[in-house]
Every structure is written in C-alpha cells, then in structure tokens.
Amino acid sequence: MDMQHNKAGFGRPDQARSSGALAAASASEFLTFRLGAEEYGIDILRVQEIRSYEEPTRIANAPHFIKGVVNLRGVIVPVVDLRIKLGCEKVEYNGFTVVIVLNVHGRVVGAVVDSVSDVMELASDLIKPAPEMNTTMDTGFITGIASVGERMLILMDIEALMSSADMGLIDPGSQSLQ
C-alpha cells in the first residue's frame, strides 16, 4: 500500500513542489489596459505603481509622444503617451487616464494609457504568436495575442518598446537615460 502511495506522487514533498513550479512557469500575470479600442497586456513584474494622470513638465525638443517629466517622490520620471507612440486616432485626457509607472532596464518610466483594466493570469497555452504583418510599423514589441472569452489582448514587451531607437529614453547597453 505504501508503494502505491509513493507511485502516485502523494506524500513526496519534492514532487509536489516540482509540479507547482511547473504550473507557475506555464502561467504569467499581466496588467491589462486600454489604448483606444484595443486592450493590451504587459508583464506585471515591470509595473511599479499606477498613478492618476497629471500634466508633466514639457522638455524642449523631445519627440511628440514624450509628454515631459514628473517628479515622483524625488525621482524625475520621463512620461511617454503610449496612445501617441502607437498611433491611436484619438488622444483624450479624462478621469480614467492613468500613468503606469514602470521599471524598465533599471530605470523608472511613466506610460500614459486610457485606462487600466485588471491583472490577469494567462496560461502559456492561451497565448498565440502575433501574426506576421507586412507593414512599416515596428511590431517587434508585440509578443503575442491572447483570447480570453470575448476579450482579445495584445501582449507587449514594454522593455523592447521603451528601448526602441526612436524613444531616446533608455539604452539597454548603458542602462541610462539619454
């Protein structure tokens, strides 16, 4: 009887831990947010906090999608409007507009979005590769598409997006603000 008990894996803490680790490795948590009509997801581990939108201090000669900087408890944080960066047709600031404060390559950056939806755990089998598209738009930051019920989430690598050459914010090699 004891032999069958062990064959099933019960009573062996090492097997219980490894199966739990496998389950954890096959699912990831994403913060979901809206940009226009689309819903996006980013790795929750990159999110430091979510703040209400406040008008940043404009920086001369910054690209139009960099709204400026804010002082976050003594840290000067650049603020990027993802709606402008990703070409949303309508950019409107209202009571739902928030700034997601991110930690990207060891630097703090703010990302303006229309609204935050929720935190969602997605099993890896729900995430499908992003389709190949013949377009001039850089889609290298899109890591996959997840369908959850009626919702379609565009999953993005926020580090890749914030490190892109046109951002001028973060150089992953030097890990410093430019």
Asked if 108 and 75 count as a contact pair (C-beta separation under 8 A), the reply is yes
Collapsing DSSP states into helix, strand and coil, what is residue 53? coil
Question: What gap in Å lies between CA 66 and CA 57, rounded to an integer?
Answer: 10
Q: What is the mean pLDDT of residues 97-122?
A: 95
Give 5-31 pLDDT, tens digit per residue: 443 433 434 434 334 444 444 779 999
pLDDT at site 158: 92
Q: What is the CATH architecture assignment of 30-177? A: Beta Barrel (2.40)
Q: What is the DSSP letter of 14?
A: H
Question: What mean pLDDT value characterizes the chain?
Answer: 80
- Assess whether pLDDT exceeds 70 at residue 57: yes
Given pLDDT bands bounded at 50, 70 and 90, which one contains residue 141? confident
Residues 6+ apart with CB under 8 A from 71: 77
Give residue 163's pLDDT.
81
- The confidence band for 174, taking pLDDT boundaries of 50, 70 and 90, is very low
Q: Say what the pTM is.
A: 0.76
User: Which DSSP string do the residues of 102-139 spell out, in sequence order?
Assistant: EEETTEEEEEEESEEEEEEEEEGGGEEPPPP---SS--
Alpha helices, H only, 72-157: 82-85
